[in-house]
Amino acid sequence: DAMVIQNPRYQVTQFGKPVTLSCSQTLNHNVMYWYQQKSSQAPKLLFHYYDKDFNNEADTPDNFQSRRPNTSFCFLDIRSPGLGDAAMYLCATSTAGSSEQFFGPGTRLTVL
């Protein structure tokens, strides 16, 4: 089945210790997104890739970086996680020009 996969589902890291979350897709979609969702809040778009073109949201902290080595994979790097970065991180994909997005199950990040 075509899908969006996120690994790991649960990630625990220490304050200030770099962490990488991964997302892969078998949908062959051009566009991949990363969202941050805190408890009882709306998913907040961090950035997205249109093919290899990176689009950063204006209010995304520099602490958050992303890599997309190929169509299928996209990574979210948090360089120095703070307690406030504890959240669910959602990856999504879409075809070019479509706003219909397909979401992965998310990675819940805990920062100790």
Partner 1 sequence: GEDVEQSLFLSVREGDSSVINCTYTDSSSTYLYWYKQEPGAGLQLLTYIFSNMDMKQDQRLTVLLNKKDKHLSLRIADTQTGDSAIYFCAENAGYSTLTFGKGTMLLVSP
Binding site for partner 1 (CB under 8 A): 4, 6, 31, 33, 40-43, 45, 48, 90, 92, 94, 96-106, 108
Nearer to partner 1, 62 or 100 (CB): 100
Nearer to partner 1, 12 or 15 (CB): 12
Nearest approach, Cβ of 83 to partner 1 (angstroms)? 21
Phi, psi at 100, each rounded to 5°: -80, 115
Q: In sequence order, which residues have a C-beta less than 8 Å from that of residue 33 and are 6 or more positions away?
A: 45, 47, 48, 49, 91, 92, 93, 94, 101
Distance CA(55)–CA(71), nearest Å, equals 16
Q: How far is the CB of 108 from partner 1 (least distance, A)?
A: 7
Shortest separation between residue 4's beta carbon and partner 1, angstroms: 8
Of 92 and 111, nearer to partner 1 (C-beta) is 92
